[in-house]
Structure 1
Amino acid sequence: MKVAFVGKGGSGKTTLSSLFVRYLAGRGLPVVAVDADINQHLGVALGLDEARAAKVPALGDHLAAIKEFLRGGNARISSAAAMVKTTPAGAGSRLLRLGGSDPVHALGQEVEGVTLLATGPFNDDDLGVACYHSKTGAVELYLNHLVDGPGEYVVVDMTAGADTFASGLFTRFDLMFLVAEPTRKGVGVYRQYREYARDFDVAIRVVGNKVQGADDIAYLREHVGDDLLTWVGQSSAVRALEQGRQGVVLEEQNEAALGQMCAEVDARTKDWEKFQRQAVEFHVKNARSWANRATGEDLEAQVDPEFRFPVAHA
């Protein structure tokens, strides 16, 4: 399953995504964690010190090699340079699998049984000449070509705010967890996300964070309704983890919330046909909007109408 964590800045999105990744890995489940936030903090949240986290190779720095590998023998793609972030898989494309030996996963840093991938930070060379989607394009290509099987998880910590919807990346997930504080701003972001996702059949469940009591829960239920899945309370254990302490045990209630989240993910039905259809829709949209001009080619020709993922009916 492909899972995204989204929410406004400061909501605890990175903290919750790291706790969920730790929960999965602690049960021996294969999991890839992807830091796709403009503020690259997921590695530290997973237990790396700042120096090691800063050395995780940036996917964006290896984009040309990633494109060349994924293109493989796909005759519809003239060159790696003609691939854009939305280019879908087709006949001859190289598909990726968790734990596979490929140039993408080779960029990962192993952390306590987790493979951590990172888009890389926004650096001085990017200022004034690039947007952060030039970084997350590598993540979109990765997800477009990834065949994740039952009991395998890719967890992506997305960039904060509605910027999530500035590309088709938001449709690449089986489920999005929206981390919301019990405040007007928190539920306002939820409404914004629901509005943006409404026409794209994107599954969103809300996880309340920084909940202090029954009034906070009632507030979230009033404004979020049935989309509220669970909530996490104020946690001394989380604070200890953020301070770099080892051997920390999460509070029973918060551990149970992670279990609810895992069960919700596992209950999702994998829809490979929708996954490929949405990839094609956004690729065509991008081709007509800017990518044809940028590459000097008709990128709609990259779409393979006969392509089906090899596990489409798993």
Structure 2
Amino acid sequence: MKIAVSGKGGVGKTLIAGGLARGFVERGLKTIAIDADSSPNLGLTLGLSTEQTRKIVPVSENKELVDSKTSTGYTGVYNLNFTVDDIVKQYSVPTPLDVNLIVMGTVQSMGSGCMCAPNAVIRALLRHLVVERNEAVVLDFEAGVEHIGRGTAKQVDALLIVADSNLKSLEIAKHIHDLAAAADMKQLYLIGNRVMNDEQKDAVTKFAKENSMELLTFVPWDQKVIEADMLGVTPLKNKEIAAVKAIDGICDLLLKKTA
């Protein structure tokens, strides 16, 4: 089970990614969560403290690690034949929700052709996690799938594109959908997040239909999520929160659709 989660910044995709990772663990799947956002906070969602997350160095910014994998001793010349399985063992962080977390950092886009050292390590690690390992993997990305690379993108079981009823959010969701389709990703689903009423549901449903996007489900707006964030605790520990229940239900939907 390899699931990618993407969407416009601020639409709540990280809570959905964290909830899915936690849900897979509770269903007996060993799970790795990947934070590939330029402003990583998946660790907080998975129950780590602010102090703990601040100590995590993203893979792309770990110069010692990158150099150990790619250095040849010649300026501008990189070794691209290296193993990455040891990175999972050494740099994954256990979280209170029993999900192992790897903070990737960001890389260049699929079309840029950049083969700088951090890019090479991240691309190889993503391919290893998505293609070669048996664990469930949940990838939390920025607004796009550029991080993955086309070859790896094809191996992702499903891409969840998160949006609220705001038109800007929906337009970015469409852009992500089109890029993912061009990269031959298999199953693309829109999730309407933070919906407060039927009017907002109708707006998301209408947009999805007009743009040939498959709407998977809705996650309701919940004040308790806001309150938990203000207190610096993860909402995922409270299963009575309506949004958390809805996200947990997405796990079952995905398990059926990718079976």
TM-score (structure 2 length as normaliser)? 0.76
Q: Deviations over 1:13-63 (max 9, x none)?
A: 112212222222333421111111000111112111111111124212122
**CA apart distance, 1:224:** 0.8
Letter in 2 for 1:111: T
User: How do 1:9-88 and structure 2 match up within 5 A?
Assistant: 9-60=9-60, 61=62, 62-66=65-69, 81-83=78-80
CA distance in 2, matches of 1:15, 1:256: 11
Indicate the residue corresponding to 1:230 in structure 2. 217
Is there any run of 5+ residues in structure 1 with no aligned partner, and where? 69-79, 88-92, 97-101, 123-130, 270-314
CA distance in 1, matches of 2:221, 2:128: 38
Q: Deviations over 1:148-200 (max 9, x none)?
A: 33xx31111112x24x3376267152211111111211221122122222333
**CA apart distance, 1:144:** 1.5
Identity %: 24
Letter in 1 for 2:149: G
Q: Say which SS state the counterpart of residue 104 (structure 1) adopts.
A: helix
**CA apart distance, 1:95:** 7.6
- Does structure 2 conserve the Cα–Cα contact (< 8 Å) formed by 1:181 and 1:209? yes
Letter in 1 for 2:166: T
Look at both structures and tell me which one has the larger radius of gyration over its CA atoms: 1
Letter in 1 for 2:7: G
TM-score (structure 1 length as normaliser)? 0.64
Indicate the residue corresponding to 1:296 in structure 2. none
Is there any run of 5+ residues in structure 2 with no aligned partner, and where? 72-76, 108-113
Number of equivalent positions: 232
Indicate the residue corresponding to 2:194 in structure 1. 210
Q: Say which SS state the counterpart of residue 100 (structure 2) adopts.
A: strand
Are residues 67 and 250 of structure 1, via their aligned partners in 2, closer, same or farther at CA, if it must alter by over 3 Å? farther
**CA apart distance, 1:137:** 4.8
User: How do 1:47-196 and structure 2 match up within 5 A?
Assistant: 47-60=47-60, 61=62, 62-66=65-69, 81-83=78-80, 96=85, 102-112=86-96, 113-120=98-105, 137-146=120-129, 147-149=132-134, 152-159=135-142, 161-162=143-144, 164-165=145-146, 168=149, 171=153, 173-196=156-179
Letter in 2 for 1:63: V
- Does structure 2 conserve the Cα–Cα contact (< 8 Å) formed by 1:204 and 1:227? yes
**CA apart distance, 1:233:** 0.8
CA distance in 2, matches of 1:237, 1:136: 38
**CA apart distance, 1:121:** 8.1
The CA RMSD over aligned residues, in Å, is: 3.0
Work out which of the residue numbers 258, 263, 286 in structure 1 matches 2:248. 258
CA distance in 2, matches of 1:134, 1:237: 42
